Amino acid sequence: MQELIQSPPRERGDEIHGAATPILCLVQAFTDLGLFDDDLDLCAAAALQHLGRELDAMHTKNDVHHDGLATSEQEPPAGQPHVQWSSRHVSVIVKPPGWSVFTSTDVMVGAKHLVSWVQAKSRQPIVRDRQADYGFVHRLDRNTSGSLLVAQSYEGYFAAKLEFNARRVTKQYVALCEGHFPKDLRMLSFPLLTVESSPGTFRSLVDEAGQHARTEVLRVAHLRDASREAWSLLILRLHTGRTHQIRAHCSALGHPLAADQAYGGKSLASCKRMPPAG
């Protein structure tokens, strides 16, 4: 990595991405094996910072400053994303349900894409760079709401990816599922295999041939709706980031998420207000 830092500047962006990708892969592999120590952390951080600054310099001509995402004091319109926090290098966007992060696998008519929303509000080069996932450090499913980290510089992007790949980011979710989820079940460790169920549409299945996947169950509350149907409110923490991990794990236990018909859930039409189950 030291040789990478001392080498002459690269002339093309894909060369820089090509140098950063194996570093991030090694960080994740060493972390999963319990071998990622402070020395490796410092080396990886220095190398990624160097590569990020190279890309930022490459995309900045004549020291022109590009406007990034900015917070607003006004209340955002219902159902619209908004910037919760922003700095020079990264921003936090609150994603409402019904918005896809990327456009490549979502061909639904009238679909709303967060990439387009970000590109309309930021002139930073990274939000138009497919190789850098348009600045998005991670993703959320279309019908999942929550916070997303979006980079405003390549230096910020690689720094954030390092934190994710080193498993230093806590990803916690609140989910409503069908039935009364077991209160004594604390870790779901079913391997998940991602398959293409139809052109451009992917889903995950519990399969021994799949990737290791771990979902921690932090809290469980049992509920009943007006029709006395059983539901559970869960607080979950992801230890891996597989496609549709929570949806697939809950479905495999016979407790699909509310209205998640792709994974065996039923309509949420009758689920309005639910007091705690007695």
- pLDDT value, residue 180: 97
The Cα 115–Cα 122 span in angstroms is 10
pLDDT at 278 (0 to 100): 46
Residue at 98 is within a domain:
yes
21: how many CB neighbours lie within 10 A of its CB? Answer: 12
- CB-CB contact of 25 with 44 (8 Å): no
One domain for residues 89 and 124: yes
Give the phi and the psi of residue 257 in degrees, each rounded to 5.
-65, 150
Task: Answer whether residue 90 is part of any domain.
Answer: yes
| Number of folded domains that form the chain | 3
> Given this model, what pLDDT does residue 201 score?
82
User: Around Cβ 204, how many Cβ atoms within 10 Å?
Assistant: 24
Confidence (pLDDT) at 219: 96
pLDDT at 225: 85
Structure-block tokens of residue 153: 């510089």
Say if 110 falls within a structural domain.
yes
- Token duo for residue 3: 């040789």
In a domain, 30, yes or no: yes
From 127, 154, 181, give the residue that closes a domain.
154
Low-confidence ranges of the chain (pLDDT < 50): 62, 105-107, 278
- Helices 13-32 and 38-59, packing angle to 10 deg: 160
Cα radius of gyration rounded to whole Å, the chain: 21
Q: Whole-angstrom Cα distance, residue 231 to residue 225?
A: 8
Residue 175 and residue 148 in one domain: no
Residue 9, pLDDT score: 64
Collapsed DSSP state (helix, strand, coil) of residue 42: helix
**Assigned domain for 68 exists:** no
The residue from 99, 127, 154 where one domain ends is 154
| Euclidean distance between CA atoms 190 and 192, whole angstroms | 6
pTM: 0.84
User: For 100-134, what is each residue's pLDDT tens digit?
Assistant: 997 654 445 557 899 999 999 999 999 999 999 99
Does residue 46 share a domain with residue 15? Answer: yes
* Catalytic positions: 141
Smallest CA-to-CA distance from 67 within 132, 139, 127, 134 is with: 127
The long-range contacts involving 197-200, CB below 8 angstroms and separated by at least 24 positions, are 200/104, 200/105, 200/106, 200/107
Give me the domain span that covers residue 32.
2-59
Strand partners, 115: none
Query: Is the domain of 183 the same as that of 244?
Result: yes
Q: What per-residue confidence (pLDDT) applies to 269?
A: 65
Give dist(CA 132, CA 160) in Å, integer: 12
